[in-house]
Structure formats: C-alpha cells, structure tokens
C-alpha cells in the first residue's frame, strides 16, 4: 500500500516557483528543489514528473498569479487612462536592486529555443495582456481621454511591448524614477495621439 503524500502540493509548487524564478531553469538542481520544497526526490517525481514538468507547472502558476495581479492593479479609478497609468507605474516601481524580473520573460529568454511550452505560455500571456489593455484603451476613448482615431489593438500591442521591456529592464536598470518617466512619456503619447 502506497504511503499518503505528506506535503501540500500547492505550497511545494509555490516554493519551486520561487527557486526557478530566482535561479532560472538550468541553474536549478533537483537538490535545490528538494531543499526548498521539503519534498523528497521520489515524491517530487511522483507528484510533478521530471524537472521540466515541474518547471512548466511553476510557470503556469506564475502566469495565473500574474493575471490576478494585473486585475488587482487596475484599481478603482474612475478614469480608464488613470487605471492604465496605475498598472504601468506599479510595474515600473518593481525596478529595484535585486529584482528578479518577470519569470515569463526570464524563461522565454532562457528556454524559448528549446521548450515550445514556454513560448506558448508567453504567447498566451501576451495575447491576454493585449486584450485587457485594448479594452482599457477603448474605455479611455469612450471617456474622451484618448483620441478616437487611435487603434486600441495597435496601441495595446505597443504598450505590451513596452511592458515586457520595462520588466526586462527592471533588472538591468533598477531605477523606478527612470521607468516611471518612460511610462509617463508613452502614455502621454497615447493620450495626445503622438
């Protein structure tokens, strides 16, 4: 008779996520994962499969958490453009020394050429963000904050690219003031339509 698992799968997955996010896939060893999660090697394999499957599950968890955080960042401002600014300024404020950056971007850079699931995850996340931001821009147009000639879809694509850039640069240039100035400039162009 098999022994029942003596750990919480979700807690262990969250701890594995932290290790992968901090060290990346290649630099993370099974010993690192065992130490961080407290789950013995065989139980880890039985529950999550191999290291790659555990990594993919951790990346899925990261994306779920990121989507929820994005929703929460939008706040309750009456102004759609102010909500958009709040989202981007919050991301800019993450640019501090020791920042781990965005796990999805880190993973796409590290694993994108050898793990189709990582690229699919990035594409899905990108499409979700584009839709959400396009909806915010459309609301800003309806409120008269963004000129009617602006394409919400195109503007959203540009802003998502800016978002990924901010997250990547947050590690290289850990200066929230610099990042806020980039955000304010980009959103100023959107509001003024160039």
pLDDT at position 112: 87
Map tokens 């304010």 to a residue: 184
CATH number at residue 101: 1.10.357.10
Asked whether residue 102 falls in the same domain as residue 146, the answer is yes
Q: Give the percent of the chain with pLDDT over 70.
A: 94
CATH value at residue 29: 1.10.10.60
pTM: predicted TM-score of the whole model, two decimal places: 0.85
Q: Give the helix/strand (H/E) hosting 115.
A: none
- Report yes or no on 64 lying in a domain: no
- Residue ranges making up the domain that contains 116: 74-192
Question: What's the structural domain count of the chain?
Answer: 2
CA angle 30, 112, 15 (to 5 degrees): 35
Closest CA to 38 of 65, 61, 5, 62: 5
50 and 133 part of one domain: no
- 105 and 183 housed in the same domain: yes
Same domain for 92 and 12: no
- List alpha helices for 143-175, DSSP H: 152-172
Q: Read off the pLDDT band of 1 (50, 70, 90).
A: very low
101: left (phi over 0), alpha (psi -120 to 50) or beta: left
Examine residue 123 and state whether it is found in any structural domain, yes or no: yes
pLDDT in tens, 9-55: 999 999 999 999 999 999 999 999 999 999 999 999 999 999 999 99
Instruction: Kindly tell me if the per-residue pLDDT of 3 is higher than 90.
Output: no
- Tell whether 63 is covered by a domain: no
């Amino acid at each position: 008779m098999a022994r029942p698992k003596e750990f919480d799968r979700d807690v262990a997955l969250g701890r594995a996520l932290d290790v992968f996010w901090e060290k990346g896939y290649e630099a993370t060893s099974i010993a690192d994962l065992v130490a961080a999660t407290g789950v013995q090697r065989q139980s880890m394999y039985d529950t999550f499969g191999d290291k790659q499957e555990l990594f993919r599950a951790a990346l899925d968890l990261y994306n779920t958490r990121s989507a929820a955080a994005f929703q929460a960042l939008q706040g309750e401002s009456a102004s759609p453009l102010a909500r958009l600014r709040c989202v981007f300024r919050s991301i800019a404020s993450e640019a501090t020394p020791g920042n781990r950056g965005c796990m999805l971007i880190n993973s796409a850079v590290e694993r994108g050429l050898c793990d189709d699931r990582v690229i699919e995850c990035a594409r899905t996340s990108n499409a979700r963000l584009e839709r959400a931001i396009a909806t915010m821009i459309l609301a800003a147009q309806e409120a008269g904050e963004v000129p009617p000639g602006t394409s919400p879809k195109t503007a959203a694509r540009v802003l998502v690219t800016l978002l990924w850039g901010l997250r990547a640069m947050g590690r290289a240039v850990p200066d929230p003031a610099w990042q806020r100035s980039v955000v304010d400039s980009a959103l100023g162009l959107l509001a003024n339509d160039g």
